[in-house]
């Protein structure tokens, strides 16, 4: 297992596909739209791969509409309303994540969330997952003027928790997470157990490390000469 390049004093996580398996509720929301139009529901697995891309990915797959198309914005707003109405029905933390978070807390090591999900969806979801009181910071897609892969959200999170970026590892299940982490000067971990999109394989993202199960994060941190 590769060693992270700096002593790690904090961990930041992407939300969808890294901390939480939100795909069941995201896919259900887009398929409700298809069923309302007398269209067949789409299979779960292909849509699951796109869950980290939110409305853009799911509306594109379900209705072949992209940002800039005339019908995209109404479809996006309908999708978001559908999703907000059933935000945390089948969503769960990934296996191993509770163990990792508890271990970080025992060490006194802060952890936080940096997601491209907008605040009005992120805040209630994080609360329903029982993470609101534990996360050192929650940075959303509209917290800063730029979202990932821009480094601004990660740099904002580093400032919030008061730790230099080079001593914070960012864990994510999408190429843009690794790109954002690198641009922010943070070591990065590819969460290969997550959604990972339908493009390059996680092993090709040039992350500092890759984990196939969330619980393996603790092995990486143990090797990083953690100093709380």
Using an 8 Å Cβ cutoff, are 159 and 131 in contact? no
What count of residues does the chain have? Answer: 228
Q: Any idea which residues carry the catalytic annotation?
A: 14, 16
Q: 97 near 212, Cβ under 8 Å?
A: no
| 78/30 Cα distance (integer angstroms) | 9
**Which residue from 174, 144, 169, 164 is spatially nearest to 156, judged by alpha carbons?**
144
User: CB count, 10 Å around CB of 180?
Assistant: 27
> What token pair was written down for 97?
């994540």
């Amino acid at each position: 297992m590769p060693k992270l390049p700096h002593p790690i004093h904090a961990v930041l996580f992407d939300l969808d596909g890294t901390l939480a398996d939100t795909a069941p509720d995201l896919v259900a929301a887009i398929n409700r739209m298809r069923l309302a139009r007398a269209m067949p529901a789409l299979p779960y697995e292909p849509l699951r791969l796109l869950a980290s891309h939110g409305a853009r990915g799911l509306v594109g797959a379900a209705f072949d509409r992209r940002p800039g198309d005339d019908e995209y914005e109404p479809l996006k707003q309908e999708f978001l309303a559908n999703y907000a109405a059933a935000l945390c029905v089948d969503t769960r933390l990934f296996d191993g994540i509770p163990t990792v978070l508890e271990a970080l807390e025992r060490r006194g090591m802060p952890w936080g969330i940096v997601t491209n999900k907008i605040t009005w969806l992120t805040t209630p979801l994080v609360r329903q997952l029982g993470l609101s009181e534990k996360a050192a910071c929650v940075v959303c897609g509209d917290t800063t003027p730029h979202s990932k892969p821009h480094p601004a959200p990660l740099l904002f999170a580093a400032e919030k928790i008061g730790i230099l970026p080079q001593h914070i590892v960012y864990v994510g299940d999408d190429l843009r997470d690794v790109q954002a982490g690198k641009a922010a000067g943070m070591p990065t971990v590819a969460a290969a157990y997550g959604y990972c999109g339908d493009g390059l394989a996680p092993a090709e993202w040039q992350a500092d490390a890759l984990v196939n199960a969330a619980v393996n994060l603790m092995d990486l941190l143990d090797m990083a000469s953690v100093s709380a």
